[in-house]
Amino acid sequence: MSIVNKGFRARRAEPSRQLPPGQHLTADFPVLQAGPTPRIDPDHWRFTIRDEGGTQHSWTWAELKLLPSERLTVDIHCVTTWSKLDTTWQGVSLDTLFQSVDTTAEFALIGSFGGYTTNVPMVDLLGGKAWIVYAYQGEPLPAVHGGPARLLVPHLYFWKSAKWVRSIELRDSDTAGFWEGLGYHNYGDPWREQRYAGD
C-alpha cells in the first residue's frame, strides 16, 4: 500500500531567481517572428554602423569573427511572457565595435536583413550591455533564432534583440521601430512590465 495519495503531485520547482512580473519559465526556445526566416550566407553578410554625420563603419563576417569575442550567460525575457534562464552566447561586445566610432548620438535604430527595425537608446547598447552574437549554447546561431548573427540586449524584452542584424543607424532623435510603431512600448523594460505603449 502506497503512503502517497492518488493524484498527489510533487511541489513545482520554483526558479532560483525572481522573474520579471508576468513572466513564466520555458525549457524550450520559442521561435516568434513577423515574416519569413531570411537565409543569409555569411560570405555576403556585412554589419554597418552609420553615425549621425553619415560616416559608415563596416565589418564583413570574416572581420567580425577576428574581433575579440566574449562568452556570456544571461536570462532572456520575451514580451509574450516566457523567460529562459542561463542562456549562453558568444559574440562581440558593441563596446568593441564602437571603439572606432566617434558619436554623440543618444539614439540608435537597429536594422535587420528582411527589413525589421527596433529602436534602442545608446546608453543601453554600451557599457557591457549589448553584443552582436553568432553562437548559442556552443553552436553556430541557427537562422530561426537570428543567425548568422543577432543583436543581444538581454536587459530589455527580447524583441529589442533584433534577429539577422545588419546595421545600427545613430540618430539625434528617437525613431520608432517595427513593433514600437505597432503599439509596443518604446523602451521595453521587463522588470517594469513595459509591454505596450502607456505601460
Note the pLDDT tens digit of each residue in 98-142: 999 999 999 999 999 999 999 999 999 999 999 999 999 999 999
Higher-pLDDT residue of 6, 182: 182
Dihedral sign, CA of 9, 14, 20, 23?
negative
Tell me: the pLDDT tens digits for 153-181?
Answer: 999 999 999 999 999 999 999 999 999 99
- As to burial, measured by CB atoms within 10 angstroms (0-12 exposed, 13-18 middle, 19+ buried), residue 26 is middle
Stated pTM of the model: 0.90
Torsion region of 137: left, alpha or beta (phi above 0 gives left; psi -120 to 50 gives alpha): left
Residue boundaries of the structural domains of the chain: 60-192
Three-state DSSP string of 77-134: ECCCCEEEEEEEEEEEEHHHHHHHCCCCCCEEEEEECCCCEEEEEHHHCCCCCCEEEE
Res 2 pLDDT > 50:
no
| Distance in angstroms (rounded) separating the CA atoms of residues 155 and 58 | 26
Residue 76: φ, ψ to 5°: -125, 145
**CATH fold of the domain at 60-192:** Sulfite Oxidase; Chain A, domain 2 (3.90.420)
What CA dihedral angle connects 23, 24, 25 and 26, to 10 degrees?
-100
